[in-house]
Structure 1
C-alpha cells in the first residue's frame, strides 16, 4: 500500500492569488481576477499575471515528505541565452529549508524582434521534498515567480490541513517587472517577498512585468482586495512603452488612487516612484532591445526616445518622480494616510555605481535583497508609514 496521501488542491491551500482557474490539468493561479483579465487581451499582461509571483501553497502537517505535480510553462527568447529553470522555495515554520525545480513542462519561444511566439507542449513534472521534521509544522511552497505553474496534485506521507490564520496583516503591492521579481534568485528573494518577510506581513504581489500601466481594471482589483497596507510603484513601464504623455499621466494617477480609495478609504497607502534607471532618467522611451548585445548572446535594453520631446510632454523617470511627489503632496492635505517614497531611496546613484543594472533595466539578485531590506526598514520599521 502506498504511504502517500493525496490532498485535493483547493483555494484554502493557496495564498497570494486573486483567482484560481480550473484547467484540464489542475489549478492555475491568477494574480488578477477574471473580470479584470476580461478587460485586456494583451499577451504581455496575460503572461505576467499568470506567473505566480508571491503565490504559495500553505498548509499544516506532520509529513516528512511532500510531492507536488506541476505543469510549468517556461519562456525562451530567440537568439538569447537559455533562461534559468523556475525555482520552488520550501519554507518550514517560516524558514527557507529547501529549493527545487520541476522538469518537463511547456515552452513558449518568443521572438522579440517580431513579437511572435510559439508554444511547444511538454509533460507534467514532479517536485519532491524529503527529510522534513517529524512534528506538526507550517509548510509553504512558494511557486516560481517567473514561470506559469498549473498545480496538478499534492501528495504527503501524513494528513494536511490549511494553514491557520496567524493574524498577520496583509500587504497589497502593485508594480512592474522589478516588483514581479525579474532576475531575482527565487520566489522568496524578490524584493517584495524579502520586505514582507522582514516586515512580518502576508504579501499579495501584483507586480506585473511590463504591465504596471495605471490600468483601471488593476485599480478595481486592488479596490476589491482586502488589505491592511497598500503600495503602488509607478513609472518605469510607462516610459518603457511610451504609453502616455504628462497630460494623460496626471489624471490617470489620480483616477487610479481614487478607485483604490473607493474600497480602502483609510488604509495606509504608499506611492513609490521609480528606482534609478540611468538610461531613462532624462531620456524618454520607448525602451528597445539592444541588438548588438543580443547578437553577443546577452539580453540588454536601451532608450530610444529623444530628450528634446520632454518639453512636449514625453515622460522620463525624472518627470514622473516630480509629478508623483506633487500629486501625493496635493492629495495628502485631505488624505492623511497617503504617503510618498522616492524610489531612489531604495536604489540610487551610489547603488548604480556599485551594483549596475545588468541589462540596463532590472536589478540582479543582490540588488533585490538590498531594495527589499531598505523598503522593510523605511516602510515597516519603527515609526514608519506601515509600522
Structure 2
C-alpha cells in the first residue's frame, strides 16, 4: 500500500514508458512485459522458455519527472527450487540521470516451485507488493531522467506507478539500439542485479540502448526467435549460440549447420546490412569435449547447492553429438563462408570473453554460470572487442 502522507499521482503504465520489452500483456492482475512477441510464445509450450522470456532482463521503466518519490506496485513470481537454498528476492535498480540512486525488492507475489530432478513446475498465486524510493533530487524546476530496471531473473507483473509529480516518457536519446540474443549467461544468471548483467554493462560502456533477448535455457535456434530478431528495429545485432544446444542435447551436427544458416537468413530478411556478430560459446569445462545433456548434480543438491554435470559420452562426438569445441569450429566455418557475400557479418570466439585463464581464476560456481565478478569481466571485454575495437565501433 502507498504511504498516505504524500499526494500521489498514478500514471498508467504503457508501452511508451518501457524499454527492452517486445510485448506487454494485460493479465487481469497487472501488465506483464514479455521479451518474445505473442506469436512466438504461441509456437512453443516449453515452460522453461515461458519462464525465461517473461523474466524482464534488460527491461526498464524510463521517464522524465520532477518527482522526489515514487512507488511501484508489482506482482513478482518467486522461484523455489526443491532441495536448494531459498533464492533472494529479485532486485530493482533505480538510475537517476544515469547514476545509481537506489535498489530494492518486492516481497510476496506468486511462487513457482521447480523440481530439477523431475523437471516439474508448480505455480501458486500470491499478492502484489510495493517498491518505494524517496529522496530523489527533484522538485521545483529540477527535472530528472529516471530509469527503473526490473529484476532480470524474476517474472514481474506491473500493477501501478505512483509519483509525487507528473511523469512523461523519457525522450529518445538518439543512441543506437543493440539487439542481443543468447543463453542464461546473456540473460544474466548469477549477476548481482539487472544493471550488472554482462549485456547491461557492455551496453552502458558502449553507449547503446539494450534489448536483451537472452533466455535461460532458450537459445536453441528456434525459428520464432529468429523472426523476433528479424522484426525488432535495431542498429546492431549479436547472437551467442551454442551452450543451450549442448545442455539440451537438442540436435546433431547434421542439423546444426543448416539451422544456423536458417537463423541468420531470417535475421537478414529484416536487417540486411546491420552489423551482425556471431559469438561462439564461452569456455565451459564440463562441455568442452563432453556432449550433453546437462543434468543437476544431485550430490550437490543433497548439500544444499545447485550445480550441474555433463552426462554425455565423449565418444558420441563421432556420431554427430555436439560439444562446445565442435560448435565453435562450425560457427567459425559458417561465418567465414557467409562473410564472402555479407561483409557486415562477424565472428567472435567466446573464449576471448571467458577462457582458460579466466576459468582458473574465476571458475564457474555451478559449472555452467559465471558469478557477478565474472559478469563484469565479460561485459568489459565485450565492450572492448565489439564496441571499442570491433564490428560495432563504427555504429550509427
TM-score range, shorter chain: over 0.9
Aligned to 1:352: 359
Q: Does 1:6 align with 2:10?
A: yes
Aligned to 2:297: 290
Deviation, structure 1 residue 77: 0.5
Q: Does 1:60 align with 2:64?
A: yes
Return the match for 1:385 from 363, 380, 391. 391
Aligned to 1:299: 306
Following superposition of structure 1 onto structure 2, how do residues 161-172 of structure 1 map, counting pairs within 5 Å? Answer: 161-172=168-179
Q: Bigger shift: 89-98 or 344-353?
A: 89-98
RMSD of aligned alpha carbons: 0.8
Deviation, structure 1 residue 114: 1.5
Show CA shifts across 1:34-90 (max 9, x none).
001111111011000000000000000010001000000010110011112100000
Deviation, structure 1 residue 112: 1.1
Aligned to 2:219: 212
Q: Does 1:75 align with 2:79?
A: yes
Structure 2 Cα separation of the partners of residues 384 and 292 of structure 1:
43
Structure 2 Cα separation of the partners of residues 286 and 108 of structure 1:
24
Structure 2 Cα separation of the partners of residues 354 and 115 of structure 1:
32
Deviation, structure 1 residue 162: 0.2
Return the match for 1:249 from 243, 256, 260. 256
Aligned to 1:179: 186
Q: Does 1:133 align with 2:131?
A: no
Structure 2 Cα separation of the partners of residues 373 and 2 of structure 1:
42
Aligned to 1:316: 323
Structure 1 Cα separation of the partners of residues 24 and 318 of structure 2:
45
Deviation, structure 1 residue 117: 2.2
Return the match for 1:226 from 230, 233, 251. 233
State the SS of the aligned residue for 2:257.
helix
Structure 2 Cα separation of the partners of residues 2 and 287 of structure 1:
52
Structure 2 Cα separation of the partners of residues 67 and 87 of structure 1:
15
Structure 1 Cα separation of the partners of residues 304 and 55 of structure 2:
25
Q: Does 1:278 align with 2:285?
A: yes
Aligned to 2:95: 91
State the SS of the aligned residue for 1:311.
helix
CA contact (8 A) 2:6 2:164 kept: no
Deviation, structure 1 residue 120: 2.1
Runs of 4 or more off by more than 3 Å in structure 1? none
Return the match for 1:119 from 117, 123, 139. 123
Structure 1 Cα separation of the partners of residues 303 and 257 of structure 2:
40
Q: Does 1:196 align with 2:196?
A: no
Q: Bigger shift: 117-126 or 6-15?
A: 117-126
Structure 2 unaligned residues grouped into runs of 5+: none
Size of the alignment, in residue pairs? 386
Structure 1 Cα separation of the partners of residues 385 and 100 of structure 2:
24
Structure 1 unaligned residues grouped into runs of 5+: none
Structure 2 Cα separation of the partners of residues 228 and 314 of structure 1:
35
Show CA shifts across 1:319-344 (max 9, x none).
00000000000000000000000000
Deviation, structure 1 residue 113: 1.3
Aligned to 1:152: 159
Structure 2 Cα separation of the partners of residues 26 and 289 of structure 1:
34
CA contact (8 A) 2:91 2:104 kept: yes
Structure 2 Cα separation of the partners of residues 256 and 225 of structure 1:
15
Q: Does 1:18 align with 2:22?
A: yes
